[in-house]
Structure formats: C-alpha cells, structure tokens
Structure 1
Amino acid sequence: MFSSDSNHINTNPLPDVTSNTLTDSSLPLQWVGMEKIGVPLTLALDNGKHQSLAAQADIFVSLDQASAKGIHMSRLHAILNTLDEEPFTKSLLDRLLDEAVSSQAGISNNAKITLTFDLLLKKPALLSNESGFQAYSVVVNGEVINGSHAYDIDVTIPYSSTCPCSASLSRQLYANAISEAFDSETIDKASLLQWIQSDQGSVATPHSQRSYAYIKMSTSNNPWPALDSLIRHFEEVIGTSVQTAVKRIDEQEFARLNANNLMFCEDAARRIKACLETLPYVTDYWFKVEHQESLHAHNAVVIDQK
C-alpha cells in the first residue's frame, strides 16, 4: 500500500546550476547543443501535396558569454517540438533559428539546426502501369550567424551506369561471333535474327553498376526549390535513374536506355557540375560521384567542387 506522501509535489524552488554556478574557466564555446532528436516534418511537394515524415534534428547555439556555466537545452528542445505545426520551409527554419538564439537570454549570438530525413518519392515504371516508392537521403543544415541566415542542402541520388569501354569490347566480341557463325559473304536475315535470339547470341554483355551522386549545395540566404523537384531534376540530368516496381517490358526499356546512356564516372560528374553551375540559388557546391564497379572490387570516383 502506497503512502499518500508519494503523491506529494515539491513546491520548493528547484536548483538551477546553469544560472547560479560559476564556470571553472571563463571561455566562450563555438557550439553547444544536442544531436539526433526525433522530430516530425511535413514537407510540401511540387505537386501541391504534403508528405509527413520522421526526421532527426541536431540543434546548437554558441556560448558567447564566457562567464555562463552552460546553455538552456530544454528551451532548444521545445523549439524543435514546434516543427510539425506548419509545413517545412526555409521561412520556418529562419524563425526557429532566431528563436534558438533569443531563447538563451543573451548568452548566444549564433545557432544552427541540421535535419536529416529520407524523402519518399513515387516513381512510375518506364512503360507499364507499375509504380513504387524510392527513398532519397536529404540533409538540410541552417545557421544564423550574428543575424545572417545561410543554408546547405545535401541530397543523395542513386542511378545506373553502363561502362562505355565494356560496351565497346562486347560489341567487338559480338561482331566476331557473327563472323564465325555466318562465314558466307551474304547473311540470310531470318537466320541472323534466329541466331541473335538463341543462346548463341548471348556472346557478351557490358557491365553496369549501381552508382551514387552525393551532392552538397550551399544556398546562402536564397529561397529553396521544392526538394522533390530538385531531386527529379538531377535524375533527368544523369539520365538513367534506378527503378522501383517493374515488369519485363520496363526492364527491357531500362536496358535500352542504359545502352543509349553509356557513361564513365567522369561523364556523370560533368553533367552534374554543368547542372549545378546553372542553378541560380546555389552559391557553392561539393559533390562526389561513385560508380560501384561490377568488374572491380573497388569503386570509380570523382570529387569536385565549385
């Protein structure tokens, strides 16, 4: 049986070590805060719809008042809890960053918030009526430094790449096999087509690999594009994005598209760089292109920046 004292609420003032205890060393600190806080987000898509998703948030403020023992972390957590009150936009993050600074009662001048989440986009198959969802990793980092806002957006784009060198070598083997199978000066068309579609026609295939573009963009204080629109734009630039649910007709079309879109990692990198140079809201960028080779046990990589 519980005593009634167990329900007693202490009404005495609670100690506040942060405010009432002096620091051991009067030195400012650049960033103090918390990482990997679970938060809900509502993202506005370019088709007018909204997507609810789970994210992880990091939030920090500067500790500029050297004599202060520490920051008010609970106030920062409370600010993050308002993320789901309206759709996620740049103006929302502008406000939350400013609130993070003002919540610290004069001991902080700067704040930063980083949000990490997977954006789910519905993708139709190439030819059939199939469709499925593709997850894209997105990181949005915002900072306010002495009243000035700036943002970085990171996206990861998976795609398929077929090696031009292996395609050329495969074509040579294919030509040699036809020359050996048909030794006369003329070839009967029906016989050739039958041979091509038989097991004998499987002479060599170019090697393809799942590839990734890791793109980091600085947008300063410029307005953002819709994130789903940005991702689809990069996919169009690269040319052979990975598929979700498919039927055989889609897989055949995918093979055709890859044959028409042969690329080394240098080709993909130049396409991405040319695209980044045309985006008016991007003030700086860094990217890495990674082709996870099927021929080799290592990856082919390009790294570049503005």
Structure 2
Amino acid sequence: MSGISIPMKLLIGEQTTEINCRIQAGVNLHTDDRGIHMSRIYNLINAHLNNQVLSVNLIQDVLQRILQTHEKLSNYAQMHFYFEYRKWQKALLSDNYGWRTYPIEFTVHMNKNLITLQLGLEVMYSSTCPCSAALSRQLIQEKFLKDFTNKESIDSQTIADWLGKKKISVPHRHSQRSIAIVNLDIKDSMNFSLECIQTIIEDIEQTLGTAVQAAV
C-alpha cells in the first residue's frame, strides 16, 4: 500500500516537531497464495503510528505486528516514510531567521527478525550555471581583444589593471539551485536514532559551502 497519510512527530534533542508522513508499506507473498491482507496493514498503521514519535523501535513493532497478521503468507515486510524536516535557520549576515525544509525518506526492512535501514536526504544549494560562466568568459575575451587591438605587447600590470576595472566586469547571467541527493545505508540499526538528521544536514551544507538561505 502506498500514499498512506499519517501525522507523526519527530524528536530532535528535546524539541518535538510535527510532521506529515506519507507511508508505503508492504509484505512479500509466497507463490502459492493469492493475496495479502491490505486492510490489516492499513488498520495497524492507523492504530500504532498516528501522532506518535517516529522511531526505529516503533516501526519495528508495527512491522512485527504486520507479519503476525500475515502468518504463513509472508516472512518479509517493509515500510517507507516520506516527510519534510523543518529547520528554523539564522541568516548568514543578520539576526533574521526563516524556515528551511528538507525532504527525508526513511525505509525499514524486516526479513524475519533482521532489520535493515536506509535514509535518504535532499539538500538544496546554490550553484553557478556552467553555461553562464562560459558566456561571461567569452564576453570578457571579446572585450579584451577590442580594447587592446593593434597592441603588439602588453605587460602583466596593464592586464591586471584592466581586469580590475568595473566596466569590464561581465556578471553571470544567473545562479541556479541544485539538489544534493544523499542516500545512506545504516549499519548500526539497533542504535540508530532519527535525531541525527539535523547533524547530517548541517554536515552536508558545510561540505557544499553554498547552502540556500531562508532569510538574507
């Protein structure tokens, strides 16, 4: 089943944030059986996840219940969560603040009693369009050839002075937004906590160096 909308909560430090999860849940099916009990999966999700704090232990408990309702039909279950993490972020050069949102995907697989976790994040950042940069370099070259036509030799200081003039600066046509998509396989599933999402996002933004600002 996919597209199940459930309100939940995310605990970061001591602060709880409300999130709206879109959930995909399913089980495998042995070849001799006709189908799964979809209503049982849906009812278990509503009964045990509604307005609860999202955690690995909670998801593991729900997956075990799903498998119990599919005894002799299935031995594998998975749940996929999609939500947006909201971060109240300070501007770089002022005391202004604004909200930034980060799409998060979290998947838990249960094969019998073995749990595996996957975490996916999207972080938007500012980048320069390479085509615009190439056009700017071309325009500067053309202006240089025009300004120094018929000059047999030019010393380095003259070129440096020319490059420093405001009138020859050709700005990029535009900057663009890019998205870093990061997918992680979690090795230590028993000790994993979703609280690390904020730290991972901050590490990614620091590595990129040009994080998008909510307030400028």
TM-score range, shorter chain: 0.7 to 0.9
Distance of 1:136 and 1:170 partners within structure 2: 37
**Larger RCO: Structure 1 or Structure 2 (Cα < 8 Å, ≥ 6 residues apart)?**
2
SS at match of 1:35: coil
Note closer, same or farther for the CA distance 1:227–1:72 as it changes in structure 2 (3 Å cut).
same
Q: How far has the Cα of 1:84 moved from its partner?
A: 3.3
SS at match of 2:93: coil
Structure 2, gaps ≥5 residues long: 149-156, 159-163
The residue number in structure 1 matching 2:81 is: 115
Contact 2:4 2:24 in 1 (8 A): yes
Once the two structures are superposed, residues 3-60 of structure 1 have per-residue CA deviations (whole angstroms, 9 ceiling, x without a partner) of xxxxxxxxxxxxxxxxxxxxxxxxxxxxxxx111111120111x42111111111110
The residue number in structure 1 matching 2:108 is: 142
Note closer, same or farther for the CA distance 1:85–1:212 as it changes in structure 2 (3 Å cut).
closer
The residue number in structure 1 matching 2:63 is: 97
Q: How far has the Cα of 1:65 moved from its partner?
A: 6.9
Q: How far has the Cα of 1:224 moved from its partner?
A: 4.0
Q: How far has the Cα of 1:86 moved from its partner?
A: 3.2
> Which aligned segments of 4 or more residues in structure 1 are displaced greater than 4 angstroms?
170-173
What is the number of equivalent residue pairs in this alignment? 198
Structure with greater Cα Rg: 1
Q: Is residue 13 of structure 2 the alignment partner of residue 43 of structure 1?
A: no
Q: How far has the Cα of 1:171 moved from its partner?
A: 11
Contact 2:77 2:109 in 1 (8 A): yes
% identity of equivalent residues: 25
The residue number in structure 2 matching 1:190 is: none
Q: What TM-score comes out, normalization by structure 2 length?
A: 0.77
Root mean square deviation, CA, Å: 3.2
Distance of 1:118 and 1:220 partners within structure 2: 23
Q: How far has the Cα of 1:154 moved from its partner?
A: 1.1
Contact 2:76 2:109 in 1 (8 A): yes
Q: Is residue 40 of structure 2 the alignment partner of residue 70 of structure 1?
A: no
Distance of 2:21 and 2:11 partners within structure 1: 15
1:78-93 matches, within 5 Å, as: 78-81=43-46, 82-84=48-50, 86-93=52-59
Q: Is residue 99 of structure 2 the alignment partner of residue 129 of structure 1?
A: no
Identify the match of residue 238 of structure 1 among 204, 208, 215.
208
